[in-house]
Chains A and B, each alone.
Chain A
C-alpha cells in the first residue's frame, strides 16, 4: 500500500513539474509575440515624449534615465547642490570645468565660454542647462537651440510646414524669444519618423553639412534621408549635433564647415578661407576660433568608424528585454555599460577593457596638458611682445599660430571622448597644436639660423 502511495506522489510531482515547465514555455512563447502595443496614434505633430512612451515604454524608460549623473575618469558629471535664485532656478548643476582647469579661462579670454563652462550633463538637461547658463551675459541667437531643444516641430510651425524655412526664421531671433518656441530637450521625433519609427534626419544643418562633405568626396546631390543606409543613420542622427559648427553671417545660419572635408585641417582651411573668427582674444587680439564637440568628425578618423561601428552600437547598445532586442535609450558613456557596449565584440574581461580605454585617455590627457601649457606660453609671449611694441608682422604671425594652436587643442579638448574615438588622430592633432604654439613663440624672437626654417 505504502509503495502505491509513494509512486502516486512521485507521479503527481512529475506532473506538477511538467505543468510548471509547460506554463514557463508558454510564457516565453508569448514574450516573442507582439513587438509593441499601439496604445496611442503618433503623428508627425506629436512632440511630447511621454505620449510616444505609451507605445514604447521600454525605450521611454531608458530615455528618462539620461538624468543620471555619473562620473568616469575624464568625463561624466557630478551633481553639485546649488542655491536657486531668480535668474537660475537650478538646484543641482555639474562641476565647473573653468575651476578645474583655469587655463581654459585664459584660452577663451573674451569669449562667453570663459564666463561659465560646466561639465556636460545627460540629454535630459540640455535645454535647462543652456537656458540658465551665465554665457547669456553675451547675447546668444536662437540658432543655439538647434542642438539644445526638440526643434523639429518648432521649425515646422515657424516655416508653415517647411523645416528649412522655419530653421532660417528661428536662427537669428534673440535666444530668449526663440526659447519660447520650444518645449522639450531632444525627444523621439528628432530622430524617429512618427509612423514607421525609422531613423531620419530632422536638422537642416546636418542635411546641408553632409551634402557638402559628400560633395568633397565626389558624391554629388547627396540626400541623407534618401541615400544613407540604416547603419549610417545610427551615427548620422547623433551627428546632427555632436559636431563642429559656426553661425554664418547676420542670419546666424547654423553651418557645419565640412565642404573641404571633416578633418581638423580641412575645417581650419575652411575658416581661414572665409576669414571667420569666433571672437578676438582678449589678451592677444588674435582672431581665434572655438571648436565645439566634434565627436562625429573625430570618430570618423578612428578604427570603430572604419569597422562600421555606429555611435548607437556603443552609446545605445542592444539589450534583451523579454524576447526583444531593444536599443538602450539611456544614452551614456560606454564605460558605464562595458558588458553591452564593448563585450558584444571584444571578448575580454571588463576590467581589462576599462584599463585599455583609460590608457588611451590618460595618454591623450597628458598630451592635452602639454598643449595647454604651450598655448599659455604663447599667449604670455604675445602679450609681452605687444607691450614691448614688437613689429606688427611678427605679432600677426604669432597670432595666426595662436589661432591654429588653440583650434587644434580645442578640437581634442572639446571632443567628448578624451581621445578614445580616434586615439592616434587625437595625438596627431595635439602634437600639431604644441608645434604651432612653439612656432608662434619663435615668430616673436629675432630670426636666427635655426629659427629661420620656420
Chain B
C-alpha cells in the first residue's frame, strides 16, 4: 500500500484546484464543481486516515465518507436549483452579472 502522505498530497492538490475553481471561474455551475472537488479532497483525507490506526480498515472513516457524499449531493442539488432560478432572472450563468447586491 502507498504511504499516507501520497494520499494527503493528492488531497491538498485537490484543495488548491477546488479553491481556484470556486474563486476564479465565472460560470455558476463550475463554481459548484469547485465545491464538489473540495468536498472530495476532504473525503480522500478520511479514507487515507481510516487505514492508519487499526490492523484492518476502520469502518468509521468510511461511514463518514458515505454520509458526506450523500450530503454533498443534497447541497449540489440545492445549488443547481438556485442556478436554475438565477438563470430565469438573468438569462445567463455568468456570476459577474450577479453583482447587484452591495458589499
Q: Are chains A and B native binding partners rather than an unrelated pairing?
A: no
User: A residues bordering B, Cβ < 8 Å?
Assistant: none
